[in-house]
Amino acid sequence: MDEFILNFDRDKFKSTNSLWNDLRLRDPWSVGYVTILIEMKTFNSKEEWENYYYETGLERETKIKELQNTLQEKLNDELLSLTNEREIYDMSWDLKNLNLNYGRTKERLHRKGEILHENAVKKGLNITLVECIEAVRFRTICQTWNGIILRERNTVSVLKNKFSTLEFISTNGDFDYKYAVDYELKKNGELICGIQIKPKSYLGNVPYLIKAQNANLRKNRLYTDEFGVPVYNVISKREGEIINHEVINKIQELTH
């Protein structure tokens, strides 16, 4: 799958790093748990992922408009300050869920780009409004996608080094969606297992993650019923380092 490419000067992009963090525009309160959103379904392309992010943002807007005005004001996601963190902490889950587990519309990201630019000008940075808007998009949507893709590639590279006699076959989008299997592993042409490659964040126990885990478990069971082999989760870091080392032993046992 293709990666997103930054379409303006990288040094200009990097010059906004500290502002991006200081303004806390990257906080889940501002843009949602993007690394979790991207794990909620299977995408055949980076464009599908970007559209999904905007679509969940539109869904968020619709749900917020149904709330009383006072509650709508509480969900202002433009800037997260230390003064309102306690108020956020004390909110009901259903309410703060609207900020944390949904994406944002293009218009919302556009506004964050404006905020970034306003503060960049104050700092004397040589960057345009258009570039700041793109910087917000790239950090929120594109780097999330690129990180997931790179992590998967690096993880497979690590696994191939450990299991040089195995064949790693990437599944297509429809197959992955049906069975929640990223790769099928074969030895001498014989299927021995399927694997899902996930980040550490996938191991959480909050409601939306549990829902995703259970859905994937059902799909994995269907795969096992149909193909007669297990599916293993491979939890890894971006550089490919595998966190759940026990999965190596499980795969090793199948190669004997």
Tell me the two tokens of residue 195. 């694997």
Burial class (CB in 10 A: 0-12, 13-18, 19+), 94: exposed
The tens digit of pLDDT for each residue in 28-77 reads 889 998 878 887 777 888 999 999 999 999 999 999 999 999 888 888 88
Percentage of the chain beyond pLDDT 70 is 97
Tell me the two tokens of residue 212. 């995703």
Question: pLDDT confidence of 85, banded at 50, 70, 90?
Answer: confident
CB 101 within 8 A of CB 37: yes
pLDDT (0 to 100) of residue 37: 87
Q: Would you tell me the crossing angle of helices 46-65 and 106-122 to the nearest 10 degrees?
A: 90
Verdict on whether the full-model pTM lies above 0.75: no
Question: What domains does the chain contain, in order, with CATH numbers?
Answer: 10-149 (no CATH), 163-254 (3.40.1350)
> Distance between alpha carbon 172 and the CA centroid of its chain, in Å?
19
